[in-house]
Each structure stands twice: as C-alpha cells, then as structure tokens.
Structure 1
Amino acid sequence: MFLFLSAILIISIIFVFRSIKGSKKVPPGQMGLPWIGQTMAFYRAQRKNRLFEDFVGPRVAKYGKIFKTSLMGSPTVVINGAEANRFFLSNEFKLVVSSWPAASVQLMGEECIMQKQGESHRCVRGLIAASLASSSLEAMMPKLCTTIQLHLDTKWVGHDIISLYHSAKVLTFSIVFECLMGIKVEPRMLTTFERVLEGVFALPFSFPGTRFSRAKKARMEIGKMLREVVREKRRRIEEELEEEECELLLSRMVRAMIRGEISEVEVVDNVVLLVFAAHDTTSFAIAMTFKMLAQHPSCYSLLLQEHADIVRSKGAGQNLTMEDIKKMKYTWQVARESIRLFPPIFGSFRKAITDIEYEGFFIPKGWKVLWTMYGTHLEDEYFEDPLSFKPSRFEEPVSQYVYVPFGGGPRACAGYQLAKLNILIFIHLVVTRYDWSLIHPDETIIMDPLPIPSHGMQTKISPKSEVRPNVQQM
C-alpha cells in the first residue's frame, strides 16, 4: 500500500509540474520543417531586400508583434516594437547574449567584441569608446577632412561619371584604417576584405570553390598582415618611438596587450570586426542619403542652403570644425531619415541564456531572439506615413528604442559619432564643390550579402564654381 501511495504521489507531482510547464505559452507561429524551419523563406526575402514585406510583415499581421519560427536550425522568436527592443537590448548579458551565425564568428574572429561578455566585453568596449570620445573625434577632425578631400581630388577630379557607392566604400575603408586605427592602406587590402565579407552569411563549409572557403582564405591573409602590423606597433611603443598627438585605437589596444589586458588575437580580431562594422554600413548610409536627395529636390535645396551658409562663414582653405558640424542640423535629419528607410543591417540575433517571460509569452532558454529595425522604422505606430521621406520627423528627439540603426543597450554601436562625422563631412564637400545627378535615381537595392545599390549609384558630376542654393538638379 505504501509503495502504491508513493507511486501515486510521484505521478501527481510529475503531472502538476508538467501542467505548470505546459501552461507557459510560447509565442504563436509556425516552425516549418525539422531543422530547415522557415530558413529558405527568410533567405529569399533577405536576398530581395524585402525581409519586412515578405517575411516579418505578413507574420506580424497574422500572429502579432511577437511570433515564433525556426531559422538556421534554431527555434527563434521574432520581436517587434519599441518596448520589445528596450526589454531585450537593455537586458544583454542578463537574459540574452549576442548570437551570430557560425560563418560570421569564424570570419570575424572568435575573440572579437561581438563574442565577448562581462568584463572582457567592457575592457574592449572601453578602449573603443576612448578612441571615439568627443575629444578624440575633435582631434581627428583635420585628418578626416584631409582624407575625404584627398579622396575627392584623386578619385573624382577629371571624371564625368563615378560610382558613388564604390567611392564611398573606398573612402570609409581608408578612414577606418588610417584615421581611426593609424594603419596605412596598402593596395588590394579592400579587395581582400571584400572577399571575407562575401562569406559572412554563407554555410560554414570549407569545400574548395565555395564562398566560405574563399572568405576563409582571405581572412587568413588579413590575419597574417595585421599580426605583422600589431607586432611592429608593439615594438615601436616599447622602444618609445610613438609620437601620436592623439592616441589612435590600434595604439590603445596594443598598450592594453602589453599590460596583459587583452591578447594579440583579440587585437587582430577586433580590428577586423571594426573595419566591417564601420565602413560597409557608413558607405551604404551615404549612398542612400544621396539617393533620397536625388528623389526629393526640395529637400536638397534646403540642405544646400545650410552648407552654403557654412561656406560663407569660413575663410578660404579652412577645415570644418565641430562647430560647423553642429550647424548641419537639417543635413543630419536627412541622413537619419534615409537610414530609417534603408537601414544598413536588418537587425541581429540574440540567444536566451535563461527562461524568459515577456508579455505573457514564454521563451525557453537556448531559443534565439531576432529583433529587426523594420519592427519600428516602418510602423505607423511610431512614424506617421512611415514609407514617406520626411526629414522633419527628426526635428524632435526620437526614442533610441524606436529608431535603432545603431542598436541599443550595452552593445549599442560605439562608432555612431564617427559615422556621423564621416557622412556629414562627405556630404558637405560634395555638395559645395560638385553639381551631381544620379543616372538611376530609382535603382533597386539588392543583398550581397549586405544591402547594396544594384547599379552602384552611377553619378554624373561636374565641378561647380560656387555654391548655389537653388541648384537646378535632378
């Protein structure tokens, strides 16, 4: 009888436990086929740059702002909305951690900041933040202006047509290496980095001839080159041969390496990541800003007036200053609105490190969480008439969890202010020195693997003799 009652008690406990566990409701949605899930539909939408229209949007309409799916072999909860962004991004390291595809991790590096947590993350982020603080950026301004002007003088002068997108990529690549890192750009470096980028979202199989295999080979070349640069920098620092007026990021990281705070591998991996994080996203933002200006001549006229006023306030040959940057309020509104409509990345994945309950739903430990910029950027709950181009939206402050091209929480983009300077200085020097028009103002945006203009933003250019606010253009 005792054994019988004990068995009944155990069965009852198990039943109650399962009932409690089963009462926790996971978000609605469909998981699709085993392992494959809905990955193919996700990739198809992403390749066409229609992730919101073809994948996220229809599921939000059917299931609501939070829905489940299965992507790349992992159960995944897709979240939408400012409050969801705030909850998950601000709880980085507590409830979720960054979770990138295997190919991205291998190519960026196992020791880069996107893989770091806790104290190791704070250490590397502190080094980056110090190099991008207001005082550091102000000291960097003359070099930024000179680099951008030199680029226009060598790549634009004498040409009637240029690829604005490719030109911006070459420029932003040089700025990250030379202005932020203090590393001289050598021939073919950009081409080698581009080969790595091709494989970041590929299947991580190293079969000869595949994108990932080519990317892996290019990554090894980059690693070898950067190790030599880091070791030479260390030698110069230890022999007290460095004479930087404002310590650049590579020097900060190498000094931290000498102190034993980070390793040589961490330095190399973080340089690789920062190059990709900074130059591809910024060049696309520049391209999309010019695309929007080409389609909205009245906005361009207002922007040009702002820059004409700045030119008149300066002496001949004077570089821009931080005070000039502060005067570019409308230009930054235009850039922000362009980025809202055309974010350089769609969002990112997190992984639940504990069971999570949010908005009445249960997200089990180990599941992925995907937040997207489209979840707020294209919703009329946050932006009236969201598909229209209206720079005036940004005359008033917008919540960081509504407007999220630079992320949020502990992993918010540390290079936000550098990207802003890059964009604004480039726009100023172009619009005050060139008349320009896009050959294909309505060209489509494709993914390969990040968004790019399908025709490379072919642009007709001609030097102007003076800044004319009411330019006849487009």
Structure 2
Amino acid sequence: MEINFTTLSMVIFLIALTFKLFRNKSLSSIDPSKLPPGRTGWPIIGESLDFLGTGRSGHPEKFINDRMHTFSSQIFRTSLFYESIAVFCGPMGNKFLFSNENKLVTSWWPRSLYKIVPSQPVANSPEAMSMRKLLLRFLKPETLHSFVGAMDCVAKQHLKTCWENKSQVLVYPLAKSYTFALAWKLFVSIDDPIEVAKLSDAFSVVLCGVISIPIDLPGTSLNKSIRAANFIRKHLHEVIKKRKIDLENKKASPTQDILSHMVLTCDDNGQFLSEADIADKILVLILAGHDTASAAITFLIKYLAELPHIYNEVRKEQMEIVKSKAPGELLNSEDIKMMKYSWNVACEVMRLAPPVQGTFREAMTDFTYQGHTIPKGWKLYWSGNTTHRNAKYFPDPERFDPSRFEGNGPAPYTYVPFGGGPRMCPGIEYAKLDILVFMHNIVTKFKWEKIYPDEKIVIDPLPIPAKGLPIRLQPQVY
C-alpha cells in the first residue's frame, strides 16, 4: 500500500498544530517558570526518538542520565508518545510516586497499548481493580508454589529439547521460548509445542509496538503490533470457547489456571466476563509475564558466564538440592526456600540489567514536587536506572556483588525492578519462581562461555544482548 507523501505530511502538520494548541491551552494557567526544567523536543514525537532510538540503538538509561546531568538530578520534563512527561529521579522520586498512588497519581500506559488492547481497563476503574484482585488471588505465593513441580517439568523438557546435545545455542530466543511455554502452561494449560510456537513470534511483534510512537500506519511498529494482537486474540477466542465447554462437562478444573478463574468470574454487576474481555486480559497477562523474565534469564546466563566464581557458588547451592532428592523427583516449594544465594544473584542481575526500564503514572490533580508544579494530566515516569547504578546507594555500582541483598538488603526505594507501593508488580513471586527453577536446571546440567566477550547491549524495547547472547555449551559431568 502506497501513501502519498504530501498528504501524509499535511496530516502530520495538522495533528502537530492541533496538539500544540491543545497543549498550550492546557498549560495556559501554569506559570512556565514553575514547571520542571527540561525540553520537549519536536512537535508530536517530542523526544521519543532519543528515548527509543532508531535501529534498536535507543538507551533509556543514557537518555535519563544525560538529562539528570543537564537539568536536575531530582526531576526533569520531556515529551514522549504525544505526552508531556515529568521524569522523577532517585529514591525520593520513587517514594513520592509509589506512596501517592491513587492519591495524587494513578497508573498510566502510552496510548499505543490501548490501541493494541482497546478493552484494557482505565486505571482505578472498577473493572481494573477487579482484574487486579483476580491476578493477586491467582499469583499469591501459596498458589504459585503449588505449581513448582509443573514449572520444573517445563524447564526440564525445554532443556532436553533445545539445549541438550548442542555445542552452542542462542540464549535470548531460547529464554523467550521457555518463559513463553511456561506462561501458556500455567495461565492457559496449553503445552502443545506446535500451538505455542505458532503464537510466540506474534507476541514478539506485539511487544515491539507497546512502547512506540502511537501512529497506526502500514509498516509502523504499532500497526504490526495491532495485527499480531488480533491474530493472538482470534486464537484465544477458540481456547476460551473450548474451556467453557470443558468446564461444563467437568473435563477442566475451576482452579487449574487463571483462564478457568476468568471464565467463572463475575463482574460487580454479577455478569460473567465476555470472551473478548478474557482474551484481552490473557493477552496482557502473558505479554507481561514472559518477556521480562526472558530478559532476566538472558542476563543471568551472561553474568554467570563472565563470573565463574559466582557460577560455582550458585551450582554448589543447587547441587545440595539435587543430592537431597530421589531420582526423578521434582522441585517443590521447600527447595525454593533453600535457594537464597541463587536469588541474591538473580537480584544483582536485575539491579545491573533491570528487565523493566520503568513505568508511567498520570497526575490526578495539580501538585507541587521539589518546588515544581506538575499539572493535572501530565504523565510521570520513574526508572530504576536513576538509582540502580548510583554509587550513593550501591557502592562500586559496576561490581557484581550478591551480598548487597543479604540481611535487610538495599535502602528503601533504591532497588525497584518490580516497582513499589500499591502498584508493585503482582507477578513478583511468579518471576522469582520462573527464574529460580530455570537457574536450578541450567547450572546442574551445563557450564558455558560467551562466544562474543564484548557483545553490546541494545534496547528492543527491553535490554538484550545485540547478538542474542550466543554461548558454547559443555554438559556437566557428575
């Protein structure tokens, strides 16, 4: 499909003019000198290209650090994804946003997400709060720990199929394959490799459009993402229809996964969720539940390759668990409790390479922070990158040191890979089990080395090694 360049340029100009007039009107009552320092960049796109980069070269950490140095280490303003943005920095900024949830600020995502998932509930709506309660009920530790054995089965099967008898592998796509298969197994009870593989590539396309410039034209990331989401949604509708029939015929359990919970859940008016609502909720849940864990596992493999003494300590802890179990016995919740050093290692990995760069909030009313006025409707952004590598909070920040997480761990609001406050990621325990079960299986079966010692890190939109982290594998000898 061809688009007339003159027509497209005129449309963009009119949108830019409208947006500029609207934004100026919305700020007319605000003294510009009271706004946070910073710059807004180009019309419409603002500084989005600098933030996201082009050709997978964007680096939000550098974007934020440069502006903290230029404008303020506490707060600065920018413009991203059509929106005026105030970036809150440091533990004080994190604390302010986390502790004022539903008071001064509320959750917000770029409009690109709502184009991909139109039925995504508005923050603080009864539907959104009901959905969060459902997720918290399913994702609570005691529920998830009952699935540890099933998670172990998925990890073992994945390694047997994709890693064993290989001299080298590409870690990132395999980590995505594992976490994706695990999410489908636990959330929707689907473990057919052909069915899962059919959806995996589509989910990768969806992810690339979630944080993108919200222009839905052929060839854009958003347009590709919308089409991929529609493909997944169609497949989910078929799965939901079958589950309803299986539940009626008692061929499926009401508590076997989150899909059953959703099918049997009523809203506040006593109405069952529609198939469209369930499909969108599952789409968002799997999107959130597998790709961040993929990035964390990839960097875990990276650091264990670079730091053999850390690898040896992790393997020593995991081998003690192996020795305590009968042949063929699966992991259980008690084994997870024994993985204290391994979890400290995983936490240090997520400090240095946080899978989630940050998330957004929206100002519910005008308020003042650090002497600056934040207008109602402005979008607010926090990022672990403002504290995770700051020597003030983590001495010698580039050094890999799992002992940082012993005892009481880091100071409050300095380590935030899962956010904080009422909006802390509800999947934190799921991510922990996901990572630890995989770590147990990988270190007890293999040792490895990086093929490219100086492989660069890119943002796509999560941080990943530029070449996907190829490694040489060597089976462990018992």
TM-score by length of 2: 0.87
Q: Do the aligned partners of residues 404 and 243 (structure 1) sit closer, same or farther apart at CA in structure 2, a change above 3 Å counting?
A: same
CA contact (8 A) 2:81 2:212 kept: no
Q: Could you tell me which amino acid in structure 2 is paired with residue 442 of structure 1?
A: D
CA contact (8 A) 2:393 2:414 kept: yes
Identity value in percent: 37
Does residue 340 of structure 2 align to residue 320 of structure 1?
no
Q: Could you tell me which amino acid in structure 1 is paired with residue 65 of structure 2?
A: G
After TM superposition, the structure 1 = structure 2 runs for residues 414-429 of structure 1, keeping only pairs within 5 Å, are 414-429=426-441
Which stretch of the first structure deviates more once superposed, 116-125 or 352-361?
116-125
Q: CA deviation at 1:102?
A: 2.1
Cα distance in 2 for residues equivalent to 1:262 and 1:357: 40
SS in 1 for 2:265: helix
SS in 2 for 1:349: strand
Does residue 73 of structure 2 align to residue 61 of structure 1?
no
Structure number with greater Rg is 1
CA contact (8 A) 2:75 2:86 kept: yes
Specify the alignment match of 2:242 in structure 1: 232
Q: Do the aligned partners of residues 254 and 434 (structure 1) sit closer, same or farther apart at CA in structure 2, a change above 3 Å counting?
A: same
Does residue 259 of structure 2 align to residue 250 of structure 1?
yes
CA contact (8 A) 1:46 1:447 kept: no
Which stretch of the first structure deviates more once superposed, 206-215 or 353-362?
206-215
CA contact (8 A) 2:50 2:58 kept: no
Q: CA deviation at 1:23?
A: 9.5
Specify the alignment match of 1:48 in structure 2: 57
Q: CA deviation at 1:119?
A: 2.8
The alignment's C-alpha RMSD in Å is 2.4
Q: Do the aligned partners of residues 163 and 265 (structure 1) sit closer, same or farther apart at CA in structure 2, a change above 3 Å counting?
A: same
Q: CA deviation at 1:456?
A: 1.3
Q: CA deviation at 1:71?
A: 2.3
Does residue 421 of structure 2 align to residue 413 of structure 1?
no
After TM superposition, the structure 1 = structure 2 runs for residues 50-449 of structure 1, keeping only pairs within 5 Å, are 50-53=59-62, 55-64=63-72, 65-107=74-116, 109-112=117-120, 115-185=122-192, 186=195, 187-243=197-253, 246-257=255-266, 259-260=270-271, 262-397=273-408, 398-399=410-411, 401-449=413-461
Specify the alignment match of 1:8 in structure 2: none
Which stretch of the first structure deviates more once superposed, 85-94 or 170-179?
85-94
Q: CA deviation at 1:24?
A: 7.8
Q: Do the aligned partners of residues 221 and 50 (structure 1) sit closer, same or farther apart at CA in structure 2, a change above 3 Å counting?
A: closer
Q: Do the aligned partners of residues 412 and 46 (structure 1) sit closer, same or farther apart at CA in structure 2, a change above 3 Å counting?
A: farther
Q: CA deviation at 1:371?
A: 0.8
Which stretch of the first structure deviates more once superposed, 25-34 or 450-459?
25-34
CA contact (8 A) 2:146 2:333 kept: no
Which stretch of the first structure deviates more once superposed, 375-384 or 93-102?
93-102
Cα distance in 2 for residues equivalent to 1:303 and 1:25: 51
Q: CA deviation at 1:364?
A: 0.7
SS in 1 for 2:390: coil
Cα distance in 2 for residues equivalent to 1:219 and 1:34: 29
Q: CA deviation at 1:419?
A: 1.0
SS in 1 for 2:239: helix
Q: Do the aligned partners of residues 69 and 172 (structure 1) sit closer, same or farther apart at CA in structure 2, a change above 3 Å counting?
A: same
Q: CA deviation at 1:265?
A: 2.5
Alignment deviations for residues 242-280 of structure 1 (CA, whole Å, 9 cap, x no partner): 236x43111101111595254332211111111111111
Which stretch of the first structure deviates more once superposed, 209-218 or 387-396?
209-218
Cα distance in 1 for residues equivalent to 2:313 and 2:357: 30
Q: CA deviation at 1:111?
A: 2.6
Alignment deviations for residues 319-343 of structure 1 (CA, whole Å, 9 cap, x no partner): 1121111111111111111111111
Q: Do the aligned partners of residues 183 and 396 (structure 1) sit closer, same or farther apart at CA in structure 2, a change above 3 Å counting?
A: same
Instruction: List alignment gaps of at least 5 residues for structure 2.
Output: 1-26
SS in 2 for 1:339: helix
CA contact (8 A) 1:165 1:287 kept: yes
Which stretch of the first structure deviates more once superposed, 442-451 or 274-283?
442-451
SS in 2 for 1:159: coil
Q: Do the aligned partners of residues 302 and 359 (structure 1) sit closer, same or farther apart at CA in structure 2, a change above 3 Å counting?
A: same
Runs of 4+ in 1 over 6 A off after TM superposition: none
Specify the alignment match of 1:461 in structure 2: 473
SS in 1 for 2:210: coil
SS in 2 for 1:432: helix
TM-score by length of 1: 0.88
Q: Do the aligned partners of residues 301 and 184 (structure 1) sit closer, same or farther apart at CA in structure 2, a change above 3 Å counting?
A: closer
CA contact (8 A) 1:45 1:51 kept: no
Alignment deviations for residues 292-313 of structure 1 (CA, whole Å, 9 cap, x no partner): 1111122112112111222222
Q: Do the aligned partners of residues 22 and 189 (structure 1) sit closer, same or farther apart at CA in structure 2, a change above 3 Å counting?
A: closer
Cα distance in 2 for residues equivalent to 1:135 and 1:37: 45
Specify the alignment match of 1:11 in structure 2: none
Instruction: List alignment gaps of at least 5 residues for structure 1.
Output: 1-17, 467-474
Which stretch of the first structure deviates more once superposed, 391-400 or 403-412?
391-400
Which stretch of the first structure deviates more once superposed, 169-178 or 193-202?
193-202
Q: Do the aligned partners of residues 365 and 24 (structure 1) sit closer, same or farther apart at CA in structure 2, a change above 3 Å counting?
A: farther
Specify the alignment match of 1:12 in structure 2: none
